[in-house]
Amino acid sequence: MTVSQENPVTDGTVFSNPGSDNPVLAMTDAAVEYRRHGQRVRALDGVDLTVARGEVVGLVGESGCGKSTLARAAVGLVPLAAGTVSFEGEPVAPLGMRRRPGRLRGLQMVFQDPYESLNPRRKVGELIADGVLLGGGSRSAGRARAVELLERVGLPATAADGYPHEFSGGQRQRIAIARTLAAKPSCLIADEPISALDASAQAQIANLLTALVREEGIGLLLVSHDLSVVRQVADRVAVMYLGRIVESGETAEVWSSPNHPYTEALVAAIPRADGAGVLPADLPGDVPDPASPPSGCRFHPRCPIARDECASTEQRLVPLGSRAAACHVRAPLPGTALDPAGAGADDSRPQASGAASLCGLSTRTSSTCWPARCCPRAPSRSHQTARSPRSRPPFRPACRTGR
């Protein structure tokens, strides 16, 4: 995954984040605008994001941060006001799921409410077989494939003869996933696929999705409110705030040592076994309306470490080793007042951030941090950032022990 927002720096250097060299899905500088009461609402702003095959990318943030907008833009359900989205190297046209050209059938979406996306008047087997017929298969091939896919998602062959209302929420979500599999996807966008389900069904669907990623090499963008799920299943995570990505990186690293104060607050809010896990008192208020975003850093009115510059100067993602964060204090742009070379730097930020933000290079790379590529003084081995192993233990809903 790459999640980056380019940062034109005063000397002309452009930063971009490390990420996948060969993404199946790539958003570049993507923006989405809605119209509300004649006013433009920029719900997504300058977002870069990539998903590679066999990778789970988690997308988190409070309600109203723009996660669904990003997910819908990724599959072409809402048009872009700026930037591009490409799937397997070709642009994704905003045509809606049904009218999309055949080459986009490999990019599928799993919705929060499977009931809404399943026609209640048609048998489950027919709904799944549709995907096969669209791909040019025969009716009998469609039926056989539907049964095969139902078994693949853990349902019996007899489910093919039932109607969607005859199934539980978790089973309906399995049916919806089976239907997307009929199109032989290489990338799935799942927008809150488990939040409408009970705890046991949540675990089953989360594990099913990750099994599809690992076993079939599908790329998965997983949008979820549930940080504990994302923490357990995602290889990489992107944290959104008010239409922008404010932090990204390997999930385990972001969770264990968040660089952005917003990420810190989200991580602190994960319910823990000891009953702790509410948003800390120093994160007041709600996500502002994107129709009138705050000046400077969009998070500054709620930020416990904000300084004067945060209210006046916009901040974009700055690479911090294999990660990136958009924070004037933790990841200052070189040459700004909060640059460690200048006065007022925050000495508490991780070692990598100082190195990364000072180096000033522009290379994008997936397997090594950029100082290793570009800095003649960087020790080559110690700067290598290995990709996290793909195998993870299955998701368990009872495991909400926070950090």
Ligand X SMILES: Nc1ncnc2c1ncn2[C@@H]1O[C@H](COP(=O)(O)OP(=O)(O)OP(=O)(O)O)[C@@H](O)[C@H]1O
By CB under 6 A, name the binding residues for ligand X: 34, 36, 41, 43, 61, 63-69, 225, 290
Q: 41 or 134, CB closer to ligand X?
A: 41
Min dist. Cβ of residue 135 to ligand X (A): 31
CA distances from 133 to 99, 128, 129 (A): 15, 9, 6
Min dist. Cβ of residue 292 to ligand X (A): 11
What is the DSSP code (8-state) at residue 394?
P
Q: 274 or 286, CB closer to ligand X?
A: 286
- Provide DSSP, 79-128: --SEEEEEETTEE----TTTT--GGGGGEEEE-S-HHHHS-TTS-HHHHH
In the three-class reduction of DSSP (H, G, I as helix; E, B as strand; rest coil), residue 186 is classed as coil
Q: 59 or 209, CB closer to ligand X?
A: 59
Min dist. Cβ of residue 95 to ligand X (A): 18
Burial track 359-377 (b if 16+ CB lie within 10 A, e otherwise): beebbbbbebbbbbeebee
Largest CA distance in the chain: 72
Q: 25 or 375, CB closer to ligand X?
A: 25
Min dist. Cβ of residue 367 to ligand X (A): 31
Min dist. Cβ of residue 356 to ligand X (A): 28
- Of 227, 191, 8, nearest to 109 (Cα)? 191
Q: 142 or 290, CB closer to ligand X?
A: 290
Q: 113 or 148, CB closer to ligand X?
A: 113
Q: Which residues 6+ apart lie within 8 Å of 79 measured at CB? A: 32, 73, 94
Min dist. Cβ of residue 78 to ligand X (A): 8
Q: Give me the residues paired with residue 221 across strands.
A: 57, 189
